[in-house]
Structure 1
Amino acid sequence: MSTWPEPRANAPLVVFDFDHTLYDGDSGSHLFAWMIRRNPLRVLAALLATPVLGPMVAFLPTRRWGISGYVWIGSFGMHRVREFDKVIDRYVATHREEIAARLLPTALEVFANHRSRGDRVVVATGAPPELARAILGFVAHADVPVVGTEVGPRLGGVKATRHCHNQEKVRMLRERGYADIEMAYSDSTADLPLLQAARQPVVVNPKRGREAYFRQVLPAGTPILNWGCKDRGGDAPQA
C-alpha cells in the first residue's frame, strides 16, 4: 500500500526521464544485452546484425528500427507481450543488487520530494514500461505511472511498435492526459521537446560538452545539474 499522498487533480505535473536521470546508464540496453547473452545463437545473430543495427541506433530517425532489431533478436521465441514482461521481471529479480546500485540517490530524493508534496509525478522513458516499474519497485515507487516504449509480437519475437522518444514521448504523454507539464527532468537532447514543453525544465547528467547547447535552446537560468553520473556533465546540486 502506497504511503504517498494522493495527488490532487490540479496538482503540478512533474515528468522524469528514467535512463541517466533516475538510473545511471541505459536500462533497456542492459536488459537487451542480458537477453541476447542467454543464448549463443542470439549472440551470433546480434554480432552479425550490428553493422546494420548499430548505426541505426545511433541516428534519431532510424533509432526505433535499430532498437527493434536487438529486441527481436533477444526475444525470439516469445509470442506474447506477457512473456516478454515475465522475462523483464526475471532479469530485475536476478540482478537486484546491480540494478539497485545504479539508482541515483540524489535523483530519488528529488523524486520523493515531489511525491511528498502531492505533485502528479510520471516517468516517461524509452525503456519498456515494465522494466522501469519493476526497478522503481525497489524504492517504493512502483505505483508511479510510467509511459514507455510499446512492444508487440512480430515474426516469432517481440519488437518495439512505438518508441517513447523525442517528440513521440510528448505525444504519448498528452494522449494519456499528461499535457500541462510544470517541470521536466531529463539528460538528453533527444528529450528537448519534453524539456521545452515544461514551464520549468531541468537538465540532469547531460553528456559532457552538451551543456552549452542546452543553454542556447532552453530558457536562461535553466538548471543543468549532475545527480551522480560520474562520466556526465552538469553542476553539483546545492545542498
Structure 2
Amino acid sequence: MSVAGTRYPAARAEAPLVVFDFDHTLYDGDSGGDLFAWLVRRTWWRTALALLIAPIAAPMIAFLPTRRRGIGAFVWAGTVGFHRRRDLDELIDRYVLLHDAQIRERLLPVALDVLHRHREAGDRVVIATGAPPELARAILTFVAHEDVPVVGTKVGPRLFGVMATRHCHHEMKMTMLREAGFTGDVAIAYSDSSADMPLLKTAKRPVVVNPKPDKVDTFRRELPPGTPILNWGIPSRGGEPG
C-alpha cells in the first residue's frame, strides 16, 4: 500500500490508459452496499422504510435492466430529507472517516501495489466503478492516500432524497469513461465482474481479478486465450494467486 506523501510522475497524454474496477478488485466487498446500509441504519424509520421497499427493490438489483432503479431505491431510503448531491458527498466523507479501520482492512494490498506500480510508471490510471465516485475517491484519498481520477455512478435529487441517475455499469461504463475524457485505446483493464465484459473486451490486455468461481469459465470463453485470471486476496473468489 502506498504511503501519504508519495509523489508520482505526471501521466503523459500518450501514456497507456489503465482502468481499474473498484469493488472486489481494489476493495474486498461492495463499497456502495456498505455505504447504503450505513445510511439506512442511521435511524429506525429509515430502516423501516428500506424494509418496506425491499420486496420490490432488492430483486431489481439482480437484473441489469432494473439494477439502477433497485440500487437507487435504497439510496433514496438512506438520503430522504437531503436534496442535493453535495449532501450525499458530505455523508460519504463522514462515513469513510468513521469507518477508517474497517475500510483499511477491506482494501486489497496486492491490488493497491499494482495500482501504485502503474502510477510510478507514469500510466494514465482511472477507477471506473458502479459506486458513487465520491465514495471510491474518499476511500482512496483518506485511507489509501491515492488521489486517482474516479468515474462512477451519477446521483441527483429525486423525490425529496438522492437517487442514482446514471449507473456506471456494463456498456455505460465505457460511455462514461469516454465522456470524462479518457479516450484512446485501453491498454490494461482490471475487473472481477462479467458486467465489465465490454471494458475487458475493449482492453488490449484484460486482467480478471477475484472473479466469482462460477464465472471463471465465462471469462475463459469470452476473453482471449491466455487472459490472466488472478486472485488478489479474496479467499471466497476464484482465480490463481498473483
Name the CA distance, whole Å, in 1 between partners of 2:6 and 2:67: 36
Identity of aligned residues (%): 61
Which amino acid in the other structure matches residue 230 of structure 1? Answer: P
Name the CA distance, whole Å, in 2 between partners of 1:197 and 1:173: 12
2:223 alignment partner in structure 1: 218
Name the CA distance, whole Å, in 2 between partners of 1:110 and 1:158: 34
Matched, 1:121 2:125: yes
2:170 alignment partner in structure 1: 166
Task: Provide, for residues 71-110 of structure 1, a one-character-per-residue CA deviation record: whole Å limited to 9, x for no partner.
Answer: 0000011011111100000000000000011000000000
Which amino acid in the other structure matches residue 32 of structure 2? Answer: G
Which of 181, 184, 198 is matched with 2:189 structurally? Answer: 184
Shift of 1:209: 1.6
Q: Which runs of 5+ in 2 are unaligned?
A: none
Task: Give every structure 1 segment of 4 or more consecutive aligned residues whose post-TM-superposition deviation is greater than 4 Å.
Answer: none
Shift of 1:56: 0.2
Which amino acid in the other structure matches residue 110 of structure 2? Answer: T
Matched, 1:44 2:44: no
Shift of 1:177: 2.1
Matched, 1:17 2:21: yes
Which amino acid in the other structure matches residue 193 of structure 1? Answer: P
Task: Trace 1:107-146 onto structure 2 (pairs within 5 A).
Answer: 107-137=111-141, 138-142=143-147, 144-146=148-150
Name the CA distance, whole Å, in 1 between partners of 2:202 and 2:164: 25
Name the CA distance, whole Å, in 1 between partners of 2:145 and 2:9: 13
1:68 alignment partner in structure 2: 72
Matched, 1:154 2:152: no
Secondary structure (helix, strand or coil) at the match of 2:51 reads helix
Matched, 1:236 2:241: yes
Report how many aligned residue pairs link the two structures.
Answer: 236
Task: Provide, for residues 189-215 of structure 1, a one-character-per-residue CA deviation record: whole Å limited to 9, x for no partner.
Answer: 000001011000000000012111100
Matched, 1:199 2:204: yes
TM-score normalised according to structure 2 size: 0.96
Secondary structure (helix, strand or coil) at the match of 2:241 reads coil
Secondary structure (helix, strand or coil) at the match of 1:77 reads coil
User: What's the RMSD between the two structures over aligned residues?
Assistant: 0.8
Which amino acid in the other structure matches residue 236 of structure 1? Answer: P
Name the CA distance, whole Å, in 1 between partners of 2:123 and 2:145: 16
Shift of 1:2: 5.9
Task: Provide, for residues 24-58 of structure 1, a one-character-per-residue CA deviation record: whole Å limited to 9, x for no partner.
Answer: 00000000000000011111111111110111001
